[in-house]
Each structure stands twice: as structure tokens, then as C-alpha cells.
Structure 1
Amino acid sequence: MKYMLIMRATDEAYASMVEFDFSEMLETVGKFNDELIRAGVLVAAEGLADAAEGVVVDYSSEPPVVTDGPYGETKELFNGFYVLNVASKEEAVEWAKRLPIAGPGFKTEVRRVPSIDEFPQDNEWIQKERAWREATGQL
């Protein structure tokens, strides 16, 4: 089963990161990533650029409205993610507990990523996606 670990931080948590040595942070995160790789559970991991560099596409009107960042409240934003392939939600939670981010204002949301097998297999679009995944080695 795949699970996404979604890392969130408040403005205060971001502010506390200013004190961290960037090289030391890369070393700490790199070691954690290496553990995930050696355990054979890492599918993907990415950090995200500052929300101020992003945009929001709001579909509540026609045509959709695009708003430059920063946007939303801090509690609505996330700054990075991992996708893990593990046996259970409990295993995903155990990995989340080991993430090398800690302290007030840091949280990680753990969400299951449904597989293509959970969708109606007789659907034309699911069949096309399955063929694409097979052709690109993603199944």
C-alpha cells in the first residue's frame, strides 16, 4: 500500500528553521532518506518551493480565477512530502514518527494513496491509465 506523508509547518515553525544550519539539515534528512531507501519503502520524496512562488486556481467561478501566492492560512499549506510503499497504515505512521523534523508547529499528515486496482476496471479511462502505467513501468 502507498501512503503519502504530508509535512506541514506553521509560520513559527518556519521561523525556527532559520536557526538551522542548512548543511546539517541536508545531512539529517539525507540519512533519513537513506534509511527509507535501504528499507525499500521510498517511492518519492520532494520538498516544495515557498508558497509565495505558487498560485492558486480557484474553480468557484467561470473561468477559474488564478491568484498569486502567498495564499491561504499557514495551516492549509504543506512544504514537502514522501510517498512510501509499506504494508500498513501503522508502518507509515512509524516512519512518520521518525521524520527528522520536530518541535512546535511541525506536523505530518499520513494519507493512503489508492491504487488503480481500486477503480472500476471496465472504465475506458482507467484502462487507458493502466496501459500508460504499464508502458512507463509504473505498474
Structure 2
Amino acid sequence: MLYAILCYNDQDLVAGWTKAQDDAVMANLSVVHDRLYAEGKLGPAGRLGFTGSAKTLVKGQEPPVVMDGPYAETKEAMLGFYIIDCASMGEALDVARALGEANPTGAYEIRPLSLYLQGVAVGDQVPQAAE
């Protein structure tokens, strides 16, 4: 079963980390990443740009409205994500706990995930469209 782990944090706090602090958090997370990759459980993962670099397309009127920043107004923002392949929600929670131990702040939301690209496994490369 695939799960998405959505990583939330206070971006002002994260932006205030020194390069050494950020490098230390990323090194701690790399230990978890390497283990998950070796176990064949880690799919795509990414660190998102801060919300100031985001645009949101809001539908419901014609034409749709493009807003600067994220749609939700929250203190914490989604700053990254993981796609993992686990046997159960309990196992996915264990992965989130390991990520949480590696990162000193924030929250991890775990959701079951259904793929729209059938036949693409966690470790597979998605074919690129011809240009």
C-alpha cells in the first residue's frame, strides 16, 4: 500500500536555521532516507520551496483566479513530502516517527495514496513525454 507523508513546519523557523543547522537536519533525515531506500519503501520525495514562491489556482469562478502563495492560511506550511510503500498504516506511522526523530520540529500527516499512473511502482521512473 502506498502512503503519502506530508511534512509541515513553521517556515519562518526553518528559514531562520543556519546552513549548519539545516545541513544537520538533512543529514539526520538522510539516515532515514537511506534505510527506506535500501528496504525498497521510498518513492519520490521532495523539499518544497517556501510559500512565498507558490501560486494557487482557485476555481469556482470564470476565469479561475491565480493567487500568490498557498490557498490555506496556516502558521505551518507543507514544506515537503514522501511517497512510501508500507504494508499498513501502522508501518507508515513508524516511518513518520523515524522522520520526526530526525527533524526537531514540525508535523507529519500520513494519508493512503492511490496512484493515477497505473503500472508505475514506487522505484520506477515515470516516462517523460516526447518534446
List gaps (5 residues or longer) in structure 1: 117-128
SS at match of 1:102: coil
Q: What residue number does 1:120 align with?
A: none
The answer to whether the aligner puts 1:87 opposite 2:74 as a matched pair is: no
Q: Which has the higher helix share?
A: 1
Q: What residue number does 1:102 align with?
A: 104
SS at match of 1:62: coil
Instruction: Report the Cα distance in structure 1 between the residues aligned to 2:45 and 2:71, rounded to whole angstroms.
Output: 23
Residues 14-33 of structure 1: CA deviation (Å, up to 9, x unaligned):
36x52562322232121111
Instruction: Report the Cα distance in structure 2 between the residues aligned to 1:52 and 1:71, rounded to whole angstroms.
Output: 12
TM (norm. structure 2) is: 0.77
Identical columns (%): 27
Aligned counterparts, 1:1-139, within 5 A: 1-11=1-11, 13-14=13-14, 18-19=17-18, 21-69=21-69, 72-75=72-75, 77-99=77-99, 100-103=102-105, 106-115=106-115, 130=118
| Number of residue pairs matched by the alignment | 121
Q: RMSD of aligned C-alpha atoms?
A: 2.7
Instruction: Report the Cα distance in structure 2 between the residues aligned to 1:11 and 1:49, rounded to whole angstroms.
Output: 10
Instruction: Report the Cα distance in structure 1 between the residues aligned to 2:53 and 2:12, rounded to whole angstroms.
Output: 20
Greater Rg over alpha carbons, structure: 1
Q: Is the 8 A contact 1:8 1:75 kept in 2?
A: no
Instruction: Report the Cα distance in structure 2 between the residues aligned to 1:75 and 1:36, rounded to whole angstroms.
Output: 30
Instruction: Report the Cα distance in structure 2 between the residues aligned to 1:72 and 1:137, rounded to whole angstroms.
Output: 31
List gaps (5 residues or longer) in structure 2: 127-131
Q: Is the 8 A contact 2:56 2:70 kept in 1?
A: no
Q: CA deviation at 1:77?
A: 2.9
TM (norm. structure 1) is: 0.73
